[in-house]
Amino acid sequence: MSDCSKAYNQAIRFLAPRARSIKETEVNLKKKGFESQVIDQTVSTLKQERLLDDKEFAALFVESRERFRPKSRFALKYELRQKGISDAIIQETIAGVDDFDTALRAVKSKLGQWQNLDRETFKKKVMNHLRNRGFGYEVSISTYRNCLDPNHRSEEYR
């Protein structure tokens, strides 16, 4: 079996559990000891077969984050850059992400655990939770106020 076939099979095994970026696939093949020429050829083949596509990967990644572990636009940009996605694809992919809605979704799953806390502790929990997910102060304080009074959708913080 040729090196290209071995690299291709390794890449397929790597891609089987979930979508990956081109950079992630290249790094994996490099770790497995394949030469750069073999890696380039394998990546090219995978792109032609539409098994590797950074644009599609970024869309799936953001969708997954939005659904299971909501993060800010800033955090999403950072994670996608770490995965080797170009700035143009990142901008296009996160264009529809609204930090205010995402922050509210990120906190909603925790509200049951925090319902009996005093106001100051509750505020710290909300603010820290959102900060750890990359949200800025304005988004975090607006979300906190929205949690206290769901009818309070103040435009001054948007």
pLDDT at residue 21, as a whole number: 96
Model pLDDT, residue 32:
93
Per-residue confidence in pLDDT tens, the chain, 158 aa: 788 899 999 999 999 999 999 999 999 999 999 999 999 999 999 999 999 999 999 999 999 999 999 999 999 999 999 999 999 999 999 999 999 999 999 999 898 899 888 989 999 999 999 999 999 999 999 999 998 866 544 444 33
Identify the pLDDT of residue 151: 53
Q: Which helix (H) or strand (E) holds 63?
A: helix 54-68
Q: CA 51, CA 48: separation in Å to the nearest integer?
A: 8
- Domain 54-94 has what CATH class? mainly alpha
For residue 100, the model assigns a pLDDT of: 94
Where in the chain is CATH 1.10.10? 3-48, 54-94
Q: What is the pTM of this model?
A: 0.84
Tokens of 150: 């769901």
CA R_g for the chain: 20
pLDDT at site 155 = 42
SS3 64: helix
Q: Is 134 left (phi over 0), alpha (psi -120 to 50) or beta?
A: left
pLDDT of amino acid 153? 45
- Give the distance from CA 8 to its chain's centroid: 26
Please, are residues 106 and 71 in contact by the beta-carbon 8 Å criterion? yes
Residue 158, pLDDT score: 37
Architecture of domain 3-48: Orthogonal Bundle (1.10)
Note the pLDDT of residue 24: 96
